[in-house]
Amino acid sequence: MATLGDIGVSAALNLLGAFIFLLAFAFLRLQPFNDRVYFPKWYLKGLRSSPSRSGAFVRRFVNLDFRSYARFLNWMPVALKMPEPELIDHAGLDSAVYLRIYLIGLKIFIPVALLAWAVLVPVNWTSKGLVVAKNETSSDIDKLSISNISDGDHRLWTHIVMAYAFTFWTCYVLLKEYEIVASMRLQFLATEKRRPDQFTVLVRNVPPDPDESVSENVEHFFLVNHPDHYLTHQVVYNANKLATLVKKKKKMLNWLVYYNNKFSRNDSARPLVKTGFLGLWGKRVDAIEYYTSEIDKLSKEMAEERERIASDSNSVMPAAFVSFKTRWGAAVCAQTQQCRNPTVWLTEWAPEPRDVYWKNLAIPYVSLRIRRLIMGVAFFFLTFFFMIPIALVQSLASIEGIEKAAPFLKHIIEM
């Protein structure tokens, strides 16, 4: 049976783990290279700019202002005191809902804990179940639990009634909080500026038609089934190779700007670069001329790739972004089945344009389902085998377990 020492050790291990994660979060949050990760909304609003790139090289990646580490928890009381409308405008709706989750926990836990201590603890303590069973391995902590009530004792009805009371209170609090969060979300959407993704639906697995192209098929389907709300559409092309070229050209442009700035600061010598792998070896050439010529080559390759995509019907994927005249029309289309066959004309809300991972749009429907199945199976086994390290940690959550795992701590444990 569990003892007070076992519970204390378990609580200490959990508190220590939580404190370590909190310190890691605080440390990473203050580093310049994570600034855009933890303050994206401020960058979108223009209230924050990238950390200074001047000064020591280490300062570009590591925050060397040790006074900021002493104030790493100052944001917590400010966030808790901030009114919800101001918090939503400052950090977004998700942040306000996330803080409400903690408030929900307090609303559920505090009344339940008070009621349990006022009703269940006296009922369990005054029972003699462990004495009747002559359980010599029990402790005073066990007298506070249901294990101190013997089978057939009328005190068990108290636990049944309290179980229903706790369940009712929990469901009631969750219902009320769900209503509040739903109202907050509707108000947030109503006051937000209109965005293209609010009027757009992503359509996948468009069935082939021998008489029409994918674009004509999509237009004909939505004109027939959504005549009052359909506006326009854009089919999806398999332009993964073009995207790679664009990414490569952007990288080359960054290097060209870098060497142009370097030459403008010191025009006495032209900057040189090695043409080998990662610039580690190879022939040394003029950096500005080299990157200019590489950009011109990539521009020609991109133009050729665009022409190939436009002329090749196989580059058109069975998917399209369909825009509607109203949010209501887009919502109806995104949340309803469009065809008797549930595997074609699959609709879902279109993600925000910057959140689209274009490479995945070229994945066929069957392949996508297989990948999701594989991930589901992998997640199951990951969760299942995760119980092994959990069991190992729990085995160390008792005084005896620690003494067996670390015999050199025996004298400290006995003290």
> Regarding predicted confidence, which is higher, 359 or 301?
301
56 and 97 both lie in a single domain: no
6 and 102 both lie in a single domain: no
**What does the pLDDT read at residue 368?**
82
**What does the pLDDT read at residue 70?**
75
**What does the pLDDT read at residue 140?**
66
Q: How many domains does the chain have?
A: 4
- Average pLDDT of span 346-362: 84
> In angstroms, how far apart are the furthest CA atoms of the chain?
97
Find the domain containing 234 and state its range.
195-363
67 and 89 both lie in a single domain: no
**What does the pLDDT read at residue 111?**
94
- Cα–Cα distance between 221 and 232 in angstroms, integer? 12
> Regarding predicted confidence, which is higher, 351 or 3?
351
75 and 95 both lie in a single domain: no
> Regarding predicted confidence, which is higher, 360 or 133?
360
- Average pLDDT of span 298-320: 89
311 and 379 both lie in a single domain: no
Percent of the chain with pLDDT over 70: 87
Are residues 162 and 115 in contact, defined by beta-carbon separation less than 8 angstroms?
yes
**Does the pLDDT value for residue 350 go beyond 80?**
yes
3 and 51 both lie in a single domain: yes
pTM (2 d.p.) = 0.57
| Residue 398 pLDDT level (bands cut at 50, 70, 90) | low
Structure token digits, residue 232? 């326009």
**Does the pLDDT value for residue 28 go beyond 70?**
yes
> Regarding predicted confidence, which is higher, 398 or 127?
127
Per-residue pLDDT tens digits for 205-264: 888 888 888 899 999 999 999 999 999 999 988 888 888 899 999 999 998 898 888 888
| Residue 384 pLDDT level (bands cut at 50, 70, 90) | confident
**What does the pLDDT read at residue 68?**
76
**What does the pLDDT read at residue 64?**
72
**Does the pLDDT value for residue 65 go beyond 80?**
no
Per-residue pLDDT tens digits for 130-151: 655 555 556 667 677 777 777 7
Point out the domain boundary residue: 36, 61, 79.
79
74 and 188 both lie in a single domain: no
**What does the pLDDT read at residue 288?**
87
- Cα–Cα distance between 116 and 47 in angstroms, integer? 49
259 and 132 both lie in a single domain: no
Point out the domain boundary residue: 137, 162, 192.
192
Residue type, 394: Q
Backbone angles phi, psi at 53, to 5 degrees: -95, 0
> Regarding predicted confidence, which is higher, 215 or 58?
215
227 and 346 both lie in a single domain: yes
Point out the domain boundary residue: 24, 57, 79.
79
Count of CA atoms in the C-beta half-sphere (13 A) of 291: 20
207 and 327 both lie in a single domain: yes
> Regarding predicted confidence, which is higher, 137 or 367?
367
**What does the pLDDT read at residue 342?**
85
Select, from the ranges 319-328, 348-357, 365-374, 377-386, the one with the highest average predicted confidence (pLDDT). 319-328
> What SS3 string covers the chain?
CCCHHHHHHHHHHHHHHHHHHHHHHHHHHCCHHHHHHHCHHHHHHCCCCCCCCCCCCHHHCCCCCHHHHHCCCCHHHHHHHCCHHHHHHHHCHHHHHHHHHHHHHHHHHHHHHHHHHHHHHHHHHCCCHHHHHCCCCCCCCHHHCHHHCCCCCCCHHHHHHHHHHHHHHHHHHHHHHHHHHHHHHHHHHHHCCCCHHHCEEEEECCCCCCCCCHHHHHHHHHHHHCCCCEEEEEEEECCHHHHHHHHHHHHHHHHHHHHHHHHHHCCCCCCEEECCHHHCCCCEEEHHHHHHHHHHHHHHHHHHHHHHHHHCHHHEEEEEEEEECCHHHHHHHHCCCCCCCCCCCEEEECCCHHHCCHHHHHCCHHHHHHHHHHHHHHHHHHHHHCHHHHHHHHHCCCHHHHHHHCHHHHHHHHC
25 and 89 both lie in a single domain: no
Mean pLDDT of the chain: 83
- Average pLDDT of span 22-49: 79
- Cα–Cα distance between 149 and 135 in angstroms, integer? 12
212 and 346 both lie in a single domain: yes
